[in-house]
Amino acid sequence: MPELPEVEAVKRGLDQSIVGKRVTAIEVMWSKIIRHDDIEAFKQSLIGQVCQRIDRRGKFLLIYFDTHVLLSHLRMEGKYFLCDKEQPVHKHTHVILELDKKEELRYHDVRKFGRMELLEIGQEFQHPSFTKLGPEPTPATFSPHVIKEYLSGRTTAIKNVLLDQRMVAGIGNIYADEILFDAYVHPEMSAAEITDEEIQQLYYSIISIMQAAIKAGGSTIRSYTNMFGEAGHYQAYHQVYGKDGESCSRCGTIIEKTKVGGRGTHFCPNCQRKRGA
Partner DNA sequence: CAAGAGGCCTGTTAGC
Partner DNA sequence: TGCTAACAGGCCTCTT
Instruction: Write out the catalytic residue numbers.
Output: 2-3, 59, 263
Edge-to-edge strands, sheet with 68-73: 53-57, 60-64, 68-73, 115-120
The reply on whether position 36 binds DNA by CB under 7 A is no
C-alpha 118/C-alpha 1 separation (Å) is 23
Q: Is 1 in the site for DNA (CB under 7 A)?
A: yes
Query: In angstroms, what is the minimal distance from the CB of 252 to DNA?
Result: 24
Per CB under 7 A, 178 contacts DNA? no
By CB under 7 A, the count of residues binding DNA is 33
148 belongs to the binding site for DNA (CB under 7 A): no
Would you count residue 92 as binding DNA (CB under 7 A)? yes
Q: Nearest CA to 236 among 162, 157, 178?
A: 178
End-to-end CA distance of the chain: 33
Choices 14-22, 140-148, 172-180, 211-219; region in contact with DNA by CB under 7 A: 172-180
Instruction: Decide if residue 156 touches DNA (CB under 7 A).
Output: yes
Instruction: Verify binding: residue 144, DNA, rule CB under 7 A.
Output: no
Shortest Å distance, C-beta 48 to DNA: 28
Q: Give, as ranges, the residues between 240 and 259 that touch DNA (CB under 7 A).
A: 259
Q: At its nearest, how many Å lie between DNA and the CB of residue 216?
A: 18
Of 75, 148, 233, 273, the one binding DNA (CB under 7 A) is 75
Does residue number 76 form part of the binding site for DNA (CB under 7 A)? yes
Distance CA 30, CA 13 (A): 24
**Which positions ≥6 away from 207 have C-beta within 8 Å?**
137, 138, 139, 142
Quick one: 111 or 215, whose CB is closer to DNA? Answer: 111
- Least distance to DNA, CB of residue 254, Å: 17
- Which of 148, 154, 233, 273 touches DNA by CB under 7 A? 154
- Given the rule CB under 7 A, which of 21-29, 46-54, 78-86, 108-116 is the region that contacts DNA? 108-116
Residue 73 in the binding site for DNA (CB under 7 A): yes
- Listed ranges 81-89, 156-164, 247-255, 269-277: which one lies at the site for DNA (CB under 7 A): 156-164
Task: Name the residue nearer to DNA (CB basis): 24 or 190.
Answer: 190
Question: Is residue 235 at the binding interface for DNA, with CB under 7 A as the rule?
Answer: no
Binding-site ranges for DNA (CB under 7 A): 1, 3, 32, 58-59, 73, 75-76, 91-92, 110-113, 128-129, 153-157, 160, 163, 165, 172-174, 191, 259, 261-264
